[in-house]
Amino acid sequence: MQDMVHKLIQKNKTKIFMFILDGLGGLPVNGKTELEAAHIPNLDEIARKSATGLHIPVDYGITPGSGPGHLGIFGYNPKQWEIGRGVLEALGLGIELTDRDVAIRCNYATIQEGLVKDRRAGRIPTEKNRALTARLQQEIRQIDEAEIIFSPGMEHRFAVVLRFPEPLEHNSDMVNDTDPQKIGKPPLKPEPGNPQSERVARIADKLIKRVAELLKDEEPANYILLRGISQVPRIPTMEEVFGLKALAIAVYPMYRGLARLIGMDTPPVNGDIKEEIDFLRDNIEDYDFFFVHIKKVDSYGEDGNFEGKAKKIEEFDSFLPEILSLKPDVLIVTGDHSTPALMKEHSWHPVPVLIHAPYVLGGLSGGFSERECLKGELGIFPAYHILPLALANAGRLKKFGA
């Protein structure tokens, strides 16, 4: 599909806004999902005038990580383009990756008597993260043949890059995550996916043991869990494929990392929804496409905080009139995946989406929720169709054929 869209691209001065409420989709608690429980008069009103539907991030029954979830809504089939979470985290933290690198996304964690007590170390403050990561970098600079590069992220997250002396053959089946995904279980041992990744697994195992020794007296961050051990792929940029000069407005580094991988500009942004909208306004003349990422919706879902997730959606709703005052030619509001508070994790459930533009049918949905969006003209469809629909509504696609 990308090849067809690429051939039909015509540039103009239209502006496309894509607001991603991370983990937006939910499941009913006491009969209502988080969206249905939230008081969102502005989203409900605009949904009634918009094209609505539910998108499938990867495929039916497949629970997406954040990387595949975002790739789909950016117009890339995530089954074709697989990106490791470690790569996303490292890029987002400003590490320039090469073909000699293996990137790892890490969590500070709490371990007790050999079992994981907290996979996120109580979401330690970012300042504490920076201090711990600086200490690790000072103490661990080399393991066997690999240079070790640490970079702090936000709260419990940080990245590690293993930089080898020579270029590495690309290896999609690298090393498993060591995060067991459940508390009360022991961390997993890093195991190679094939003979080519044996030395990566060996170095990762030594890294874990050295860090555990250094952090043994820390509380609550006395251990690390490794996730998304991966290499950087080569993906065509949004400008190459879709003719869009794109800006990513995201506070959390991993999402900037993904955006940078497909050619978006990714300046650092601090704050929350208000500051992100201010940043969009200040840069509106310089770009065609604006990706704005709202993280905490997902965080509340992962914590099982139904009310907190609904309140964060309500907060976004309060800013919608200000967003509309900037007069986007196309406005998209959706999520990268569902994170029902009921499940406390990502899920496979379809995600609500609205596309607000002058040339949609509209008038089918009574509001913005899972059940109402299903009544809309888009139905249930693959996430990677969202961007071509946005391009069409922005007048950026020529007619196909004579």
Query: In 10 A of CB 193, how many CB atoms?
Result: 16
Per-residue confidence (pLDDT) for residue 93, from 0 to 100: 85
DSSP of 134-163, one letter per residue? Answer: HHHHHH-SEETTEEEEEEE-STTEEEEEEE
Q: State the SS3 of 320-342.
A: HHHHHHCCCCEEEEECCCECCCC
Q: Is the model's pLDDT at 94 over the cut of 90?
A: no
Q: pLDDT tens digit string along 135-175?
A: 999 999 999 999 999 999 989 999 999 999 999 988 877 89
Best CA proximity match to 69, nearest among 85, 52, 53, 91: 85
Residue 321 burial class via C-beta count within 10 angstroms: exposed 0-12, middle 13-18, buried 19 and up: exposed
Best CA proximity match to 340, nearest among 18, 62, 20, 32: 32
- For the segment 101-127, the average pLDDT, to the nearest whole number, is 95
Contact indicator for 119, 109 with CB cutoff of 8 Å: yes
Give the range among 35-44, 87-96, 386-395 with minimum mean pLDDT.
87-96
Q: pLDDT tens digit string along 318-338?
A: 999 999 999 999 999 999 999
Contact indicator for 152, 86 with CB cutoff of 8 Å: no
Say which DSSP state 63 is in: P
Mean model confidence pLDDT for the chain? 95
- For the segment 16-38, the average pLDDT, to the nearest whole number, is 98
Which residue segments constitute the domains of the chain, with CATH numbers given? 2-80+236-393 (3.40.720.10), 88-230 (no CATH)
Say which DSSP state 272 is in: S
Per-residue confidence (pLDDT) for residue 174, from 0 to 100: 87
Say how many CA atoms lie within 13 Å of 39 toward its Cβ.
1
Best CA proximity match to 40, nearest among 48, 29, 51, 31: 48
CA distance 154 to 255: 12
Contact indicator for 181, 208 with CB cutoff of 8 Å: no
Angle at the Cα of 253 from the Cα atoms of 326 and 385, rounded to 5 degrees? 60
Give the range among 57-61, 234-238, 251-255 with minimum mean pLDDT.
251-255
Per-residue confidence (pLDDT) for residue 66, from 0 to 100: 85
- For the segment 69-96, the average pLDDT, to the nearest whole number, is 88
- For the segment 274-296, the average pLDDT, to the nearest whole number, is 97
- For the segment 229-248, the average pLDDT, to the nearest whole number, is 93
- For the segment 28-32, the average pLDDT, to the nearest whole number, is 97
Measuring CA to CA, how many Å separate 230 from each of 68, 125, 192? 14, 27, 12
Q: Is the model's pLDDT at 1 over the cut of 80?
A: no
In angstroms, how far is CA 301 from the centroid of its own chain?
A: 14
Residues 6+ apart with CB under 8 A from 368: 35, 40, 43, 44, 46, 47, 52, 333, 352, 354
- For the segment 1-15, the average pLDDT, to the nearest whole number, is 91
Per-residue confidence (pLDDT) for residue 176, from 0 to 100: 96
Q: Is the model's pLDDT at 99 over the cut of 90?
A: no
Q: Alpha-carbon torsion 317, 284, 279, 160, what sign?
A: positive
Q: Is the model's pLDDT at 182 over the cut of 90?
A: yes
Per-residue confidence (pLDDT) for residue 307, from 0 to 100: 97
Per-residue confidence (pLDDT) for residue 229, from 0 to 100: 95
- For the segment 29-35, the average pLDDT, to the nearest whole number, is 98
Rounded to two decimals, the pTM is 0.78
Per-residue confidence (pLDDT) for residue 97, from 0 to 100: 86
Buried b (16+ CB within 10 A) or exposed e, 79-106: eebebbbbbbbbbbbebebeebbbbbbb
Contact indicator for 302, 345 with CB cutoff of 8 Å: yes
Q: Which residue has the higher pLDDT, 171 or 222?
A: 222
- For the segment 51-64, the average pLDDT, to the nearest whole number, is 97
Q: Is the model's pLDDT at 92 over the cut of 80?
A: no
Say which DSSP state 284 is in: G
CA distance 258 to 37: 31
Q: Is the model's pLDDT at 31 over the cut of 80?
A: yes
Query: In 10 A of CB 284, how many CB atoms?
Result: 15
Counting residues of the chain whose pLDDT is more than 70, the rounded percentage is 100
Q: Is the model's pLDDT at 3 over the cut of 90?
A: no
- For the segment 300-319, the average pLDDT, to the nearest whole number, is 97
